Amino acid sequence: MSAYRSVLKNPLDTADIVRDGDFATIDNQTRRLYGMRTVQLAAVIVLVTVFAPAQSNQSETHEGNLYALALKTSVLQMEKEYGRIDDTVLGERTRTDYRHMIVEEDPFTTKGLPTEFENHFVEYLDSQALVERYKKSGKSYAVLVIQPMHNEGKTLKIAVVVYWVSYKKGHLQLGLSDWSNVEFHYDCDKQQFIVSSVKLGGI
């Protein structure tokens, strides 16, 4: 259930992220596939600033951090739905351990996120660390990539995407596998955003 990018081929076959140094590009066809839209950073900052008081009151437990909530909710739902599936593909991949997940480090979406929750552990790795991990095992493994939040009307959405990591011809390659779309709405009584739905998808 993954698709790898091949340069200048059919866009339907280009569903991964290709990285060259610190560069990352996501295929537009893939964005449409699971309903993600790029949001201007300024808009996100405004949203976070407006509701900062509600989030800061819960900073120690990360419950007010929407990225932390999206990560936690996604991992728990994926474990529930996929935890018993053997995704090793005849030993070519490392089986996904939802109790110990790898997340691609990002200065915006992963800063300050928890390293553990409910007996689940999270490791944040940058591009170089992802490559080194692959070289040690020689097998592809799953990594979560947290996309920037965007809004649709009064609903905020964050996609947590699963990619298969590999390293070929000197380049880190991420093959799209599946994803979780987490939706939030603002609860006026609680004065905070709460999770309203979690939708899993895959190719």
Domain contains 6: no
- Asked, for residue 133, whether it belongs to a domain, the answer is yes
Hey, how many other C-beta atoms are within 10 angstroms of the C-beta on 136? 8
Q: CA 139, 71, 134 angle in degrees (round to 5)?
A: 15
- Judge whether 137 lies within some domain: yes
The span from the first CA to the last CA of the chain, in angstroms, equals 6
- Reported pTM: 0.73
Residues of the domain holding 37: 11-202
Q: What's the pLDDT tens digit per position in 132-155?
A: 999 999 999 999 999 999 999 999
- Total tally of structural domains belonging to the chain: 1
Q: How many CA atoms are closer than 13 Å to the CA of 91, on its beta-carbon side?
A: 0
Please state, for a pLDDT cut of 70, what percent of the chain lies above it. 69
- pLDDT > 90 in the chain, percent: 68
How far is 122 from 14, CA to CA, in rounded Å? 28
